Amino acid sequence: MSAFLDNVTTILLITPVTIRLANVMGTTPQQILIALVMFSNIGGTATPVGDPPNIIILNDKRVQKHAPEINFGTFTLHMAPGVILASITSYFVIRRLSQHIVKKTNPYENDKREIAVWKRTLGQMRTDTEDEQRVHTQLQEYVVSLEDELKQKMDSTAGRGSVINIAELEEKYPIRDRPLLVNSSIVLTFVILLFFLHSAIHLELSLAWIAIIGAIAHLTISGIRDIEEVLEKVEFGTLMFFAGLFVLMEALDELGLIDFVGEQTVSLISAVPAGQGRLAAAVVIIIWVSAIVSAFIDNIPYTAAMVPVVVMLGTDPELDIPLSPLIYSLAFGTCLGGNGTLIGASANVVAAGISEAQGYPISFNSFFRTGFPTMVTSVATITVYMLVFHVLIPWR
Amino acid sequence: MTLNLPESDPETGTWLLVELEAIAEGASVATVVDSKNFTLEAELTKQYYRFVADEESRGVTVETWQFRITTNSDSPIAFDWKEVALPDIVKYEVIFAALILTMVYVLIVFELVHRTLAAMLGAFLALAIVSKIHSRPSLETVVSWIDFETCGLLFGMMVSLFGLGGSRRDTTFSLASAILTAPYHLSSLYHSPTIHPSLFIIFLHLVLAFLFCRSWLAYFHRLGFLNGRPSRLLNGQREKFGSWLSSCASSLQS
């Protein structure tokens, strides 16, 4: 799905559902989410619209000028087999790594989380006026009573049955506000439809515009009076993180960090003797450097900085390297590298943010433990794929 | 065209940052040559062009810098010119950048502070170094570095999905189950066994099935996709869905 819809959008849509399903199934959702994000990142590599680096590469004027043979179709044709191979190998790695981690939640987990949520609400409350203080104290008492209840429960009850009955669930979670649900569904359907259309035909709307127009329409037709209540649920933590990260990366770019990596890559490739070996070396170096750098640095400025470098390498008559394999290598490296760490790709941060808000924090380390081995496996697969299909058998 | 720059400070003048921004759209290649005949090529688009005098010219006090800017453009082009003399520590700027990045990662990896705060601290430090070494970017410039494409998308979807969609505790699950059971509801409208009503839902199912089930073929079999017309699925779909969920749960736990 990520291949046709922007990664971040996909994750935004699927994460809440996944958490809820995992909840129903009585497992912790973190590991499932990590796997979901990773497949989303891998799937997004396949097409020019799936992942931001691909969008940058394909829209670059220099690439269009020097490699006119690369368009939506040929790009997908060259990327998709590699992506399929990489997802097969990553699937086994993720499975292997997840086996021990996905565990049944203990039956009291939900109650514990409820208490945690109450406590957080308590922390968020203002206590300026007397009224607010009164509510605050009452909440505090309620939290204490909940904790007592949980203790009693833990002493008395045993585990519950594992068969899930959907009718029972529907009774448990009734649709309380049917008009709102219908309205929401209509707006969301339109927004998602526009997202898909966006990748298929040229709209004069960017994804951000579509989302914001959707939000405004949603707010209008739902007839909600208390706007504060709605805005409180927007995760400003995640948004602030992105803002901070973008500024950090741009400032580091200003300090020349990314240019430095580019220069080192070029000098490394130029040092290899000419011939078939040089192309192979260039492909391997670009894939691995891109993957490792974009795991730790945001991959958007990196791609923006590397595109001119790669074009320069590919068009230099002295080096004599064809351009298109280098471009595919760059796209593979930057996209798959995003799986390496929690902050390597935007989709990872979004999933972590949503999950944390629902009471299941994903730590940097737990992501790294699954993400990094998976990233290494998928990148190794791609290296083999590129070497076989672009170096041994030149396929243009 | 030759530009003579004002005299540079003898102590700091060996490092020079030049920002050249073509105002005309439509790229044109310009060559910038200084008095020592260092030739640099830059493509003048709407981007800044950055030139730092290289190692050879260091230690030589240059009183005036000369730049020659040529273009292959037929029509006249306009550009912005800004030059800043840099302090000597500019040669360590990459090291500073690497140190800041390492610091941010240490903060995040060891969870010393929340990652939002870590990113903001890192951004603040990096801006401080940029201000010290180059010139201080205006607040407007710094804000323009934020990719509002990503942030706007997130904000809009968060308002729709969490703000309104999840405003009642129960609606999220109802929505989830509505999406998941939608193929059965929708399939009553269509009677074609080949064209499925919603491509999106198939994809969602594929992803979920791929993740949750030991074998997603078995999942499809269970739903009856492989052995009958979709419209037949309406009978007993609830039980099937429930048993699918519980089988997934048990396969995950085993």
Complete DSSP assignment for B118-179: HHHHHHHHHHHHHHHHS-PPPHHHHHHTS-HHHHHHHHHHHIIIIIITTSSTTHHHHHHHHH
The full DSSP string for A46-84 is: TSTTTSHHHHHHHH-HHHHHH-TT--HHHHHHHHHHHHH
Q: How many CB pairs under 8 A join A and B?
A: 285
Dist. CA B118–CA B113, nearest whole Å: 6
Chain A residues in contact with B123 by the CB 8 A cut-off are 244-245, 247-248, 251
Per mean pLDDT, which range of A198-212, A341-355, A364-378, B111-125 is the poorest? A198-212
Chain B residues in contact with A12 by the CB 8 A cut-off are 154, 157-158, 161
Residue among A36, A192, A213 whose CB faces B200 most closely: A192
- Comparing B49 with A126, the larger pLDDT belongs to A126
Give the pLDDT of residue A109.
59
Residues B153, A185: C-beta atoms closer than 8 Å: no
CB atoms < 10 A from the CB of A344, how many? 28
Which of A29, A265, A276, A161 shows the shortest CA–CA distance to B211? A29
Give the pLDDT of residue A5.
65
Residues A39, B210: C-beta atoms closer than 8 Å: yes
Give the pLDDT of residue B250.
58
The percent of residues above 70 in pLDDT, for chain A, comes to 79
Contacts of A341 (CB under 8 A, 6+ apart): A295, A296, A348, A364, A367, A368, A371, A372
Dist. CA B23–CA B81, nearest whole Å: 10
Chain A residues in contact with B109 by the CB 8 A cut-off are 364-365, 368
Task: Report pLDDT digits (tens) over A224-263.
Answer: 777 787 787 787 888 898 889 889 888 888 887 877 887 7
Below-50 pLDDT ranges, chain B: 1-14, 25-31, 33-64, 166-174, 181-235, 253-254
**Please, are residues A79 and A47 in contact by the beta-carbon 8 Å criterion?**
yes
Give the pLDDT of residue B122.
92
**Please, are residues B22 and B79 in contact by the beta-carbon 8 Å criterion?**
yes
The answer, for A187 touching chain B at a CB cutoff of 8 Å, is yes
Give the pLDDT of residue B39.
41
Mean pLDDT of the region A90-110:
64
Chain B residues in contact with A229 by the CB 8 A cut-off are 163, 167
For residue A3, what are its two tokens? 């291949």
Q: B-contacting residues of A 110-139, CB under 8 Å?
A: none
Q: What is the DSSP-derived secondary structure letter of residue B45?
A: S
The answer, for B104 touching chain A at a CB cutoff of 8 Å, is yes
Q: Which long-range contacts (CB under 8 A, 24 or more apart) does B200-207 make?
A: B200/A1, B200/A192, B200/A196, B203/A1, B204/A1, B204/A14, B204/A17, B204/B179, B204/B180, B205/B180, B206/A1, B207/A1, B207/A14, B207/A36, B207/A39
- Comparing B103 with A316, the larger pLDDT belongs to B103
pTM > 0.80: yes or no: no
Chain A residues in contact with B175 by the CB 8 A cut-off are 17, 181, 184-185
Which of A153, A160, A141, A140 shows the shortest CA–CA distance to A111? A153
Strongest mean pLDDT among A107-111, A388-392, B70-74: A388-392
Q: B-contacting residues of A 303-332, CB under 8 Å?
A: 308
Mean pLDDT of the region A82-105:
72
Dist. CA A131–CA A141, nearest whole Å: 16
Residue among B101, B176, B200 whose CB faces A20 most closely: B176
Phi then psi dihedrals of residue A356, to 5 deg: -65, -40
Where residue A193 falls among pLDDT bands split at 50, 70, 90?
Answer: confident
Mean residue pLDDT across chain A? 76
The answer, for B123 touching chain A at a CB cutoff of 8 Å, is yes
Give the chain B residue nearest A190 (alpha carbons).
Answer: B160
Which residue(s) pair with B204 in the sheet? none
Give the pLDDT of residue B124.
93
Give the pLDDT of residue B111.
80
Phi then psi dihedrals of residue B16, to 5 deg: -130, 130
Chain A residues in contact with B126 by the CB 8 A cut-off are 247-248, 251-252, 254-255
Residues A240, B171: C-beta atoms closer than 8 Å: no
- Comparing A180 with B52, the larger pLDDT belongs to A180
Asked if residue A275 has pLDDT above 80, the reply is: no
Q: How many CA atoms does the CB half-sphere of B11 hold within 13 Å?
A: 2
- Comparing B21 with A310, the larger pLDDT belongs to A310
Contacts of B124 (CB under 8 A, 6+ apart): none
Q: A-contacting residues of B 4-23, CB under 8 Å?
A: none
**Please, are residues B101 and A301 in contact by the beta-carbon 8 Å criterion?**
no
Task: Report pLDDT digits (tens) over A153-170.
Answer: 666 544 443 344 444 444
Mean pLDDT of the region A172-196:
68
Go through chain B and tell me how many residues it has.
254
For residue A312, what are its two tokens? 């320069």
CA distance B54 to chain A (A): 14
Give the chain B residue nearest A242 (alpha carbons).
Answer: B151
The answer, for A263 touching chain B at a CB cutoff of 8 Å, is no
Chain A residues in contact with B116 by the CB 8 A cut-off are 237-238, 240-241, 244
Residues A252, B97: C-beta atoms closer than 8 Å: yes
Give the pLDDT of residue B121.
93
CA distance A112 to chain B (A): 17
Interface test with A, best of B160, B174, B253 (most A CBs within 10 A): B160
The answer, for B212 touching chain A at a CB cutoff of 8 Å, is yes
Chain A residues in contact with B186 by the CB 8 A cut-off are none
